[in-house]
Structure 1
Amino acid sequence: MHNIYELIRELENIQGLSKHEQLVQGIINAINDKVIQRGDMLPSVNNLIKELGFARETIAKGYKELVSRGIVESKNRIGFYVARENTEHNLRIALIIFAFDSFQEVLYKTFRDSLGTPAVIDIFFHHNNIDVLESIIANVRGKYGMYVVAPIPHKKTPEILGALPLNKFLMIDRYLKMDGDFSYIVQEFEKPTYTAFSQLAPAIRKFRGMVHYHRPASDTPIEILGAYKRFVKDFKIKSVIRTEYVPGSIEKGYVYFTINNAELWLMLKDAKAKGFRLGKDVGILSHNDEVVKEIIFDGITTYSTDFAVMAEKAARFVLTREKIQEVVPTVLLRRGSL
């Protein structure tokens, strides 16, 4: 079994972690790993100096922080003791996601509200850039009590995320195969996309064809493109795939499918300007539901996972540490646009 000194030394090479932070997190890790328990005496300042080579002021600062957080108590002329085993009173969580889109905002707010306990959530955006993700992980590892990460589908990602402790790691949004046994709460893309298109086939066939916008270098799941291609082939739907929507190019008689909200708003603006009736003159289908899509233009048809449910389950995992491996269902929400 690890001892306190070993757990503190394990953190010494983490970029950006000061020595006093290393001491604080090492002792917290020792409590969480049951190396020490409530009532146990912690190493003296002199022993820490001898074993770790830390300055006396550094150790005093670390112990002072642990005392202020209620994790450690000081007994005059005796030493420092573990005051409680619940180290999560001021839990720090690193939430690492793609970008702050509207549906990601739902995930964040629901996650924050569902924790129901004092916690600090630092949010980071990797923007589907593997170098940015690698930099974020290098800077946050060892500094947080929990890491909630939406991974990038990239060959380097498993190795990058492997630097995080799996008992404090939760994969959300997209599933990516990694070594080890870890928890995840994710959505599927290919099968739900094909299922949603199949259910909409009778409505789509009322139009001349279908246009899908897919940006190859974007964070759009490639599984969606695969499901779309399979659908139009199986159901013999005339189809065009374009890289981006050109303002003003919407035409009567087609169904338009985009995952990008900025493109969706442009389409709706153009449809209104040209006097097109949604569901009659043109069809609109969007991915990832949100309140505004339920309201505008008598409702936009979407298929989406429930990000609020995903966030609630993520918060429950953070609070209980009970292993979870779950795929949140994706549902079709039919409205006036198709």
Structure 2
Amino acid sequence: MKIIKPVSNPLANLHNKTKNTELKVLLIFNKLSDFRSEIYDCFLSQIDGRADVDLYIPQINHQNASHFAEVIREKLNTYDYFVIMLHATHINEDILKTINSIPKEKLLILDKRNEFIRGEYACVYQDFEADIYEALSNAKPLMTKYSALNFVIQESYFYSISIMEGVSHFAQENNLQYNIYTEIEDNIIRKNELYLILSEHFLADILKRCNAQNLKIGKDVGILSYNETPIKEVLSGGITVVTTDHCQLGRTAAELVLNGKKEHIRNPFLFIQRNSL
């Protein structure tokens, strides 16, 4: 693995772990997290030494978009593939211009399709609205004991609107009372209600408030968390999650690279039942 760090010289501190490979891939994440690390690990596992993979984590904002463009421009002839997973709030007009400058046979977009990326390119994506609607439909038998569904989001989450539309569609179709919250207030926690929570920070806050009110998770209050992380398997006896299959996303991306295909593939979405629902 070669790591290009977001320092004054973004091409410094390179370290090569793969040898004797001809196919070169630049994997671009806006940041690292538990689920991005899983995508990365599964991508490398599926590549299995058949390509030389570099990881680039740019600090993208309006001020340094030109720096990102410079790095990509300098490396266009170095890499056979640019595999890009960026937070949508970072994809402004300048970033789109840079992405569109990459030959489409070299471009693979992860996680979310973008209508402003021109031409035929490879993509492994989530369908946020359809995914949450189908997941809630699968969980419906477990939700009957709750009187309301509360969707707790951070407005800055780039996929919030699409997920909110899926939640609203499900609730209206099933005549289920639902509320949408963008911050945690003192009266938000109510007995016999279900909480779908996108933010890890909000999840921790709600769990603490439930404990303070002596409300039992999975009995008095239902918790459904978005995106699987290892801690959720053991937190509060097990947190039920709805999540894209991050490992499969990485594997599928690797296969598209290795096979040179320009397909758009919807990633599987999972409902993992645990004790909190």
Between the aligned partners of 1:187 and 1:139, the Cα distance in structure 2 is 28
Structure 2 match to 1:192: 131
Q: Which residue of 60, 84, 97 maps to 1:149?
A: 84
Aligned counterparts, 1:253-332, within 5 A:
253-332=192-271
Figure out how many residues of one structure are paired with residues of the other and give that number: 254
Q: Which residue of 29, 46, 71 maps to 1:139?
A: 71
Between the aligned partners of 1:119 and 1:273, the Cα distance in structure 2 is 51
Between the aligned partners of 2:92 and 2:33, the Cα distance in structure 1 is 25
Between the aligned partners of 2:214 and 2:133, the Cα distance in structure 1 is 31
Stretches of structure 1 lacking an aligned partner (at least 5 in a row)? 1-15, 19-68, 71-85
Q: Which residue of 105, 108, 123 maps to 1:167?
A: 105
Structure 2 match to 1:97: 29
Aligned Cα RMSD in Å?
A: 3.0
Aligned counterparts, 1:195-206, within 5 A:
195-206=134-145
Structure 2 match to 1:237: 176
Between the aligned partners of 1:198 and 1:17, the Cα distance in structure 2 is 46
Q: Deviations over 1:287-315 (max 9, x none)?
A: 11233222323321111121111111222
TM norm structure 2: 0.79
3-state SS, counterpart of residue 228 of structure 2: coil
Between the aligned partners of 1:17 and 1:211, the Cα distance in structure 2 is 43
TM norm structure 1: 0.66
1:176 aligns with 2:108: no
Between the aligned partners of 2:211 and 2:39, the Cα distance in structure 1 is 31
Which amino acid in 2 is paired with 1:161?
A: I
Aligned counterparts, 1:6-155, within 5 A:
87-88=22-23, 91=24, 93-117=25-49, 119-125=52-58, 135-143=67-75, 144-145=78-79, 146-151=81-86, 152=88
- Which structure has more relative contact order (CA 8 Å, sep 6+)? It is 2
Structure ID, larger Rg: 1
Structure 1 match to 2:14: none
The sequence identity of aligned pairs, in percent, is 24
Between the aligned partners of 1:108 and 1:308, the Cα distance in structure 2 is 8
Stretches of structure 2 lacking an aligned partner (at least 5 in a row)? 1-8, 12-18
Structure 2 match to 1:36: none
3-state SS, counterpart of residue 184 of structure 2: coil
Between the aligned partners of 2:248 and 2:206, the Cα distance in structure 1 is 29
Q: Judge which range, 171-180 or 207-216, deviates more.
A: 207-216
- 8 Å Cα contact 2:22/2:52 also seen in 1: no
Structure 1 match to 2:4: none
Query: CA distance change for structure 1 residues 192 and 278 in 2, over 3 Å: closer, same or farther?
Result: same
Q: Deviations over 1:85-141 (max 9, x none)?
A: x733xx3x33223432211111122223332226342232567x5666664244223
Q: Deviations over 1:154-200 (max 9, x none)?
A: 67364331111211111111112332111111121111211222233
3-state SS, counterpart of residue 195 of structure 1: helix
Residue 225 of structure 1 deviates from its aligned partner by 0.9
